[in-house]
Amino acid sequence: MTASTSTSRPPLPPFNAQTAAFKVRMAEDAWNSRDPARVALAYTAQSQWRNRAEFLEGREAIEAFLTRKWARELDYRLVKELWAFEGHRIAVRFCYEWHDELGAWFRSYGNENWEFNEAGLMQKRIASINDLPIADKDRKFRWLLGRRPDDHPSLTDMGL
């Protein structure tokens, strides 16, 4: 897919520290919306994903996956942090908290490797994620559902 045949999604590669960090925050904000259709638009029509042990290809598969995910991972709140970048690739670490239908809370930790096309759409996402059961009293992400407040501490600031 070329920039002329797709919707552009700035900032565009090659990334610098500022544009890579902005791209990460935009992704975090979209995921915190828990809107599968909105999130899927950031990916190419043929985007390839590995999420845990699940392999997906294309926006429709991504949207279906996210619909299932957020039906199961309730009250989802996510923080992403830039780890590294070069050219058209960004590495991210993240942490999110959620609970299941029985009210058991979890903190999920992970890393993602992202690859973008020239239009700024993600064409590859490789995610590795681990879940840790936590008590409600140990939760760190307590903002109202939606976008993380700008003054909320980063993962580094929270020691995560």
Taking the C-alpha atoms of residue 118 and residue 106, their distance in angstroms, rounded to an integer, is 36
Distance, CA of 40 to CA of 66 (rounded, Å): 9
Alpha-carbon torsion (15, 16, 19, 24), positive or negative: positive
At 3 the pLDDT is: 39
Specify the pLDDT at position 6.
Answer: 53
Cβ-Cβ contacts under 8 Å for 101 (sequence gap 6 or more):
72, 74
What would you report as the CA-atom Rg of the chain, rounded to the nearest whole angstrom? 15
Domains in the chain (CATH in brackets) are 13-138 (3.10.450.50)
Per-residue pLDDT of the chain (160 residues; tens, 9 = 90+): 343 345 899 999 999 999 999 999 999 999 999 999 999 999 999 999 999 999 999 999 999 999 999 999 999 999 999 999 999 999 999 999 999 999 999 999 999 999 999 999 999 999 999 999 999 999 999 999 999 999 999 999 999 9
Q: Bridge partners of 80?
A: 94
Give the dihedral of Cα atoms 82, 54, 67, 141; nearest 10 deg.
Answer: -40
Please tell me the distance from the alpha carbon of residue 125 to that of residue 23, in angstroms, as a whole number: 14
Q: What are phi and psi of 139, to 5 degrees?
A: -65, 145
